[in-house]
């Protein structure tokens, strides 16, 4: 028998755990030791409860106020701590402290999120992912608050509330949650041609990332670097995942949402626990005014990219996430990312979307975190500066809700002559090292206009679609058919089809055909649509960041009573040697008797671990177990989904009846156990036309 834990019996069958050398004394928030955490104070054992019970009242009172308003967008997210390492000095381009010396490390906190769903929604809707990095530099915090897509839906921040209202659940009915496949979203998009490029990305596999570790990240806007001489260089930021880009199939994504709504945050947690630290390279596109002026689009327009083939990405650092937060609320939920938080050497461009964001984020923290002192929360505190200079901040700002600091001295204004040495009231300007804004020449009439250079809404959408692998093009067309089929109002569908004709005639035709609708006339364009050179760097499938590997990936092995112990152990060893993570899955989890008389506990149970949760699937069964499992829906579905989701399937001979029942056809990705580890390193895109109809 296993002893569970020590419980002291009290009155009436209640149980208590008592403080000892390893377990500190429980106290109230004001430090009073608590004698009983199980019972309210009553007038007699069966009497009414007394209002004077401060232990109870404080506990419930705190609980009643535990929630804070969730983020209005990017509410659902997960984060990790880690470090950024500079791998190439940029001292000639920027004075930013973190880029000065090769090998220099800066702590980071990085949060990934979905955009539209609430905090309690799923990890895997079709949605853009936020990719927000807080660098704790020695000269203050720099927040690079980006997405996993390098462009955005709108060109001007004033439209953001409309975009988000249209995307979130509809105002009257309160659904759908975390989904763009509904009337109001597509109504807005159909009337907003500047969204078309972003829509190509949103309908592509980019919005179905397999894990956070398999996403690129982008700063989106053009920023500035400023060097010692005061010279400015334009910069666009890119994060390139070491694990490569990888996405899921739509049907797989939908099933993951049911099987494990926390799929991506669990993956992040488990990767870090295993020591498979997610890692990205930081890349830069650096350019000057002359380059900007030579391009057929405006670099201030966040609906445009600079193709990597035109301006290569220069790798200057890496980010490793190696520590999961100790407390989700204190760190992930209370983290406040603010794009206007930059450090000396980094500045802004006039991108009107970026400029609008510079106001919004501090403002939202005030309603979310409820205090101007949100910079004092441990996760937001400038700990890099604290380490370098002995304090996270120094100024004469005072008071406000939840003031945590106790600043000493009389002087709380500046200039002053009263502050004693070291007192915060004595903090003074640093004309040389302090933050300096790049003194760009700005002049012009006050106007509410969009520059003419922003008028082309379709060339980059066309560039993106035509750069895709044929499989990806089919996914985009099918996603559009799916989303528009959920749109009930015909005029919205027609307007979308009219817009798509400006992107690519074949795309519009495929979508119209998928909806069984006639193509309307193309919508008018504000500028000629250009045929730009395709950019293969934009592909996931057969693109430069598609990695054929098992490193960091999960392999499910379906086993049952009588599974051959030798085959199982050899496969587990081979998976580990290839850097993968093997997970045994069985109809009963506690004990699986193997062929050699031994028994193991399975890692997961068949119903709870459908094959959508793993990257490749092996099946090792005895003849008897295979005979039983052909009549088990979950087992048949396990194999059928693996095949339908284009995964490698490796099986021993006895498992064949199960594969046959699941409709598995022979192809390159279906192997015996010997060939499986090699086969498991990729998906089989060529199988797709055999398993589903795509638009």
Rg (CA), the chain: 29
Output b/e per residue, 31-68; b: 16+ Cβ within 10 A. eeeeeeeebeeeeeeeeeeeeeeebbeebeeeeeeeee
Q: Which is nearer to ligand HDE, 178 or 477 (CB)?
A: 178
Omega prior to 667 cis, within 30 of 0: no
Whether 74 is a known active-site residue: answer yes
Q: Which is nearer to ligand HDE, 193 or 425 (CB)?
A: 193
Whether 81 is a known active-site residue: answer no
User: Contacting ligand HDE (CB under 6 A), which of 76, 111, 126, 462?
Assistant: 111
Residue nearest to ligand HDE (CB): 130
DSSP designation for 203: T
Q: Which residues pair with 142 in a beta bridge?
A: 135
Q: Which residues pair with 584 in a beta bridge?
A: 557
d(CA 24, CA 22): 7
Q: What's the min distance (Å) between Cβ of 236 and ligand HDE?
A: 11
Q: Residues 6 or more apart from 14 whose CB is under 8 A from it?
A: 38, 39
Q: What's the min distance (Å) between Cβ of 262 and ligand HDE?
A: 17
State the CB neighbour count (10 A cutoff) for residue 560.
27
Q: Which is nearer to ligand HDE, 132 or 503 (CB)?
A: 132
648 token code pair: 């490698």
Q: What's the min distance (Å) between Cβ of 50 and ligand HDE?
A: 43
Three-state DSSP state, 87: coil
**Binding-residue pattern over the window 157 to 196 for ligand HDE, x denoting contact by CB under 6 A:** x--x------------------------------------
Are 77 and 332 a contacting pair, CB within 8 Å?
Answer: yes
Q: Which is nearer to ligand HDE, 147 or 381 (CB)?
A: 147
Place of tokens 């592509």: 204
- 118 binds ligand HDE, rule: CB under 6 A: no
Q: Which of 612, 489, 616 is nearest to 553 (CA)?
A: 616
Three-state DSSP state, 287: strand
186 token code pair: 């597509």
Strand locations in 432-546, DSSP E?
none
**Binding-residue pattern over the window 208 to 227 for ligand HDE, x denoting contact by CB under 6 A:** ------------x-------
Q: What's the min distance (Å) between Cβ of 256 and ligand HDE?
A: 22
User: Contacting ligand HDE (CB under 6 A), which of 55, 76, 77, 581?
Assistant: 77
User: Contacting ligand HDE (CB under 6 A), which of 136, 152, 234, 374?
Assistant: 152
**Binding-residue pattern over the window 417 to 436 for ligand HDE, x denoting contact by CB under 6 A:** --------------------
Q: Which is nearer to ligand HDE, 98 or 198 (CB)?
A: 198
Q: Residues 6 or more apart from 666 whose CB is under 8 A from it?
A: none
Q: Which is nearer to ligand HDE, 131 or 676 (CB)?
A: 131
State the CB neighbour count (10 A cutoff) for residue 686.
12
Count of helix runs (H) and strand runs (E) in the chain? 19, 20
Q: Which is nearer to ligand HDE, 354 or 651 (CB)?
A: 354
Q: What's the min distance (Å) between Cβ of 117 and ligand HDE?
A: 13
Q: Which is nearer to ligand HDE, 218 or 464 (CB)?
A: 218
- 72 binds ligand HDE, rule: CB under 6 A: yes
The active-site residue, picked from 23, 30, 62, 74, is 74
Q: What's the min distance (Å) between Cβ of 590 and ligand HDE?
A: 40
- 411 binds ligand HDE, rule: CB under 6 A: no
Q: What's the min distance (Å) between Cβ of 341 and ligand HDE?
A: 12
Q: Which is nearer to ligand HDE, 111 or 271 (CB)?
A: 111
d(CA 186, CA 491): 11
Total residues at the site for ligand HDE (CB under 6 A)? 24
Distance between terminal CA atoms of the chain?
Answer: 59
- 206 binds ligand HDE, rule: CB under 6 A: no
658 token code pair: 């199960």
- 132 binds ligand HDE, rule: CB under 6 A: yes
Q: Which is nearer to ligand HDE, 127 or 561 (CB)?
A: 127
Q: What's the min distance (Å) between Cβ of 421 and ligand HDE?
A: 38
DSSP designation for 453: G
Are 535 and 472 a contacting pair, CB within 8 Å?
Answer: no
DSSP letters, 390-452, are: SSS--SS----TT------SS--SSS-S-PPTT-GGG----TTTS-----------------G
**C-alpha dist (Å) from residue 345 to 225, 275, 317, 647, 666:** 6, 34, 17, 47, 58
Q: For ligand HDE, which stretch binds (CB under 6 A), given 152-160, 188-196, 577-585, 606-614?
A: 152-160
**Binding-residue pattern over the window 240 to 259 for ligand HDE, x denoting contact by CB under 6 A:** --------------------
- CA atoms within 13 A of residue 38's CA, in its CB half-sphere: 12
Are 85 and 104 a contacting pair, CB within 8 Å?
Answer: yes
Are 496 and 425 a contacting pair, CB within 8 Å?
Answer: no
- 305 binds ligand HDE, rule: CB under 6 A: no
d(CA 549, CA 679): 9
Q: For ligand HDE, which stretch binds (CB under 6 A), given 90-98, 145-153, 257-265, 521-529?
A: 145-153
The active-site residue, picked from 141, 147, 148, 214, is 147
Q: What's the min distance (Å) between Cβ of 113 and ligand HDE?
A: 5
Q: What's the min distance (Å) between Cβ of 552 and ligand HDE?
A: 23
User: Contacting ligand HDE (CB under 6 A), which of 55, 74, 225, 515?
Assistant: 74
Q: Which is nearer to ligand HDE, 95 or 178 (CB)?
A: 178
Are 595 and 564 a contacting pair, CB within 8 Å?
Answer: yes
262 token code pair: 């926390």
Q: What's the min distance (Å) between Cβ of 250 and ligand HDE?
A: 24
User: Contacting ligand HDE (CB under 6 A), which of 94, 106, 113, 207?
Assistant: 113
- 146 binds ligand HDE, rule: CB under 6 A: yes
Q: Which of residues 350-409 bind ligand HDE (CB under 6 A)?
A: 353, 356-357, 360-361, 364
| Residues of this chain that bind ligand HDE (CB under 6 A) | 71-74, 77, 111, 113, 130, 132, 145-147, 152, 157, 160, 220, 335, 337, 353, 356-357, 360-361, 364
**Annotated catalytic sites, by residue?**
74, 147
């Amino acid at each position: 028998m296993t002893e569970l834990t020590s419980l002291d019996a009290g009155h009436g069958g209640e149980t208590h755990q008592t403080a000892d050398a390893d377990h500190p004394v429980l106290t109230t928030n004001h430090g009073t030791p608590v004698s009983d955490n199980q019972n309210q104070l009553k007038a007699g054992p069966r009497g009414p409860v007394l209002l004077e019970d401060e232990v109870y009242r404080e506990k419930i009172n705190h609980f009643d106020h535990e929630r804070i308003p969730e983020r209005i967008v990017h509410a659902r997210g997960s984060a990790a701590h880690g470090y950024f390492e500079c791998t190439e000095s940029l001292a000639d381009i920027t004075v930013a402290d973190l880029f000065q010396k090769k090998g220099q490390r800066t702590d980071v906190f990085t949060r990934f999120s979905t955009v539209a769903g609430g905090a309690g929604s799923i990890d895997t809707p079709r949605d853009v992912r936020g990719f927000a990095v807080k660098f704790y530099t020695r000269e203050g915090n720099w927040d690079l608050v980006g997405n996993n897509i390098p462009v955005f839906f709108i060109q001007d921040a004033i439209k953001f509330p409309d975009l988000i209202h249209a995307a979130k659940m509809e105002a009257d009915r309160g659904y759908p949650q975390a989904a763009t496949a509904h009337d109001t979203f597509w109504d807005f998009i159909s009337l907003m041609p500047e969204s078309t490029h972003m829509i190509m990305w949103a309908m592509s596999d980019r919005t179905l990332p397999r894990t956070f570790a398999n996403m690129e990240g982008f700063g989106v806007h053009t920023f500035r670097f400023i060097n010692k001489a005061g010279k400015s260089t334009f910069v666009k930021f890119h994060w390139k995942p070491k694990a490569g880009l990888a996405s899921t199939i739509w049907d797989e994504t939908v099933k993951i949402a049911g099987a494990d709504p926390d799929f991506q945050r669990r993956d992040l947690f488990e990767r870090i626990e295993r020591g498979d630290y997610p890692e990205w390279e930081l890349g830069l596109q650096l350019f000057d005014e002359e380059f900007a002026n030579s391009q057929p689009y405006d670099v201030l327009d966040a609906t445009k990219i600079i193709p990597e083939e035109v301006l290569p990405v220069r790798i200057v650092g890496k980010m490793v996430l190696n520590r999961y937060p100790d407390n989700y609320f204190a760190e992930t939920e209370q983290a406040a990312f603010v794009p206007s938080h930059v450090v000396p050497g980094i500045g802004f461009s006039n991108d009107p979307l970026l400029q609008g964001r510079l106001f919004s984020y501090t403002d939202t923290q005030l309603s979310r975190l409820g205090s101007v002192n949100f910079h004092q929360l441990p996760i937001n505190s400038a700990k890099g500066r604290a380490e370098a200079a002995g304090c996270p901040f120094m100024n004469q700002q005072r008071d406000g809700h939840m003031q945590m600091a106790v600043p000493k001295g009389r002087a709380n204004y500046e200039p002053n002559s009263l502050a004693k040495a070291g007192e915060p009231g004595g903090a003074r300007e640093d004309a040389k090292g302090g933050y300096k804004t790049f003194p760009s020449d700005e002049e012009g009439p006050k106007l509410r206009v969009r520059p003419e250079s922003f008028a082309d809404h379709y060339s980059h959408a066309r560039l993106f679609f035509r750069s895709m692998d044929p499989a990806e093009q089919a996914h985009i067309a099918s996603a559009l058919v799916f989303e528009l089929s959920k749109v009930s109002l015909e005029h919205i569908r027609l307007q979308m089809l009219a817009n798509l004709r400006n992107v690519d005639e074949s795309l519009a035709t495929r979508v119209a055909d998928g909806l069984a609708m006639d193509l309307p006339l193309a919508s008018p364009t504000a500028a000629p649509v250009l045929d730009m050179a395709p950019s293969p760097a934009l592909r996931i499938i057969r693109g430069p960041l598609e990695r054929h590997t098992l490193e960091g990936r999960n392999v499910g092995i379906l086993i049952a009573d009588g599974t051959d112990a030798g085959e199982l152990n050899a496969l587990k060893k081979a998976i580990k040697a290839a850097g993968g993570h093997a997970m045994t899955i069985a109809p009963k989890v506690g004990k699986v008797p193997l062929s050699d008389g031994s028994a193991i506990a399975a890692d997961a149970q068949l119903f709870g671990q459908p094959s959508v949760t793993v990257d490749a699937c092996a099946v090792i069964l005895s003849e008897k177990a295979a005979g039983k499992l052909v009549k088990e829906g979950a087992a048949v579905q396990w194999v059928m989904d693996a095949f339908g989701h284009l995964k490698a399937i490796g099986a021993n001979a006895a498992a064949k009846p199960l594969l046959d029942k699941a409709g598995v056809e022979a192809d390159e990705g279906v192997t015996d156990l010997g060939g499986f580890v090699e086969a498991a390193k990729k998906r089989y895109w060529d199988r797709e036309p055999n398993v589903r109809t795509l638009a």
